[in-house]
Amino acid sequence: MSSTLQSYLEENLTNLKEKGLLNTIDVLESANGPTITIEGKELINLASNNYLGFATNEKMIAKADEATHKYGVGAGAVRTINGTLDIHMELEKTIAKFKGTEAAIAFQSGFNCNMGAISAVMKKGDAILSDELNHASIIDGCRLSGAKIIRVKHQDMEDLEAKAKEATQSGEYNKVMYITDGVFSMDGDVAKLPEIVEIAQKYNLITYVDDAHGSGVMGEGAGTVKHFGLQDKIDFQIGTLSKAIGVVGGYVAGSQLLIDWLKSQGRPFLFSTSLTPGAAAAAKEAFELMHDHPEYVEHLWDNAKYFKAELQKVGFDIGVSQTPITPVILGDEKTTQAFSKKLIENGIYVKPIVFPTVPLGTGRVRNMPTAAHTKEMLDQAVAIYKKVGLEMGLIK
């Protein structure tokens, strides 16, 4: 290693550690279910995005095994050469039907969706209005596009309208897009899509909703756009296959015209080997399970409402979440790190969320109750929260 690189890394890693901002990576010795095992210790798992418990669903595992035996462990090529298998097409048709759109395209990850879809449509000479709390993949996708990025205050419709008016009437831009998360992953609040659509129609904005944390959760599982009945008003519906769906990958759902364009211009689609056959088959089964068994989503919401209410009774600040995402907001980064460590020591696995994932001074531990948790697990978790909170003087 060069001395220049070594000095840079040592100095900056030390700086992160001193500020309580250095991530630690724990290794699981079990499946990522409602409980997990780390270093031989079983913990209640409240850190996973496995909303519906599908990561360990037996029917999905069977479909993945079946497809792997039929097609192999990998697709063997990018989609545009000979890496498009019929299972990929079946998955995309299933997604489109579930989302209520004409078509869909599957990518290798949700991050890849935003990197590929934004830059396929938005170019230098365009403008993107972007909510200031949008996910990192949206931010990076916007940067890659070369378009002018205009930050919009979080969920502030007056600011959105003012900036939409200014951008569209300036004559500087060929086209203007507004991008928002459907569900914001750190606070659990939901985008104001009816108001957004009204503004978008007024100023002829392209609309783009990244519903990674809404798909499988909102709108009976079909997402935040369906929750508001706006499938015909949103141009891009982005989703992930790695959270509620429980597998890996991502997708864009929209018009046939849009999907045709993304299949010819989406760079991750064009230049990276396609989803494994097993992942595609398992994801397809997940959508069918949600359609046939709405109780998965119903149970998720029952658990989430119960857990949130119990944490509030104990005296914790869970913010403004409107979804199963349940932050316990503490503020100070070092306190957040220490609180998370204590919770893990006492039997709950939650990770500290600090800057740069959230703004400085808003550190929190983020809980993700799932459909797979039992009430007994959630009661035990609340009891541990109360014990640790009292010991650290965070509640009375």
Task: Verify cis geometry, omega within 30 degrees of 0, for the bond prior to 352.
Answer: no
Which residue of the set 243, 263, 284, 373 is catalytic? 243
Which residue of the set 213, 226, 308, 373 is catalytic? 213
Instruction: Give the Cα separation of 227 and 185 in Å (integer).
Output: 17
Report CA-CA distances (Å) from 109 to 62, 118, 206, 301.
22, 14, 23, 26
Residue 227 catalytic?
no
Which residue of the set 109, 145, 185, 274 is catalytic? 185
Residue 213 catalytic?
yes
If you search the block for the tokens 């290794």, which residue do you land on?
27
Q: Are 87 and 79 within 8 A, CB to CB?
A: no
Structure tokens given for 9: 């890394």
Q: Are 320 and 188 within 8 A, CB to CB?
A: yes
Residue 243 catalytic?
yes
Report CA-CA distances (Å) from 115 to 119, 120, 280.
7, 9, 20
Q: Which residues are catalytic?
A: 185, 213, 243
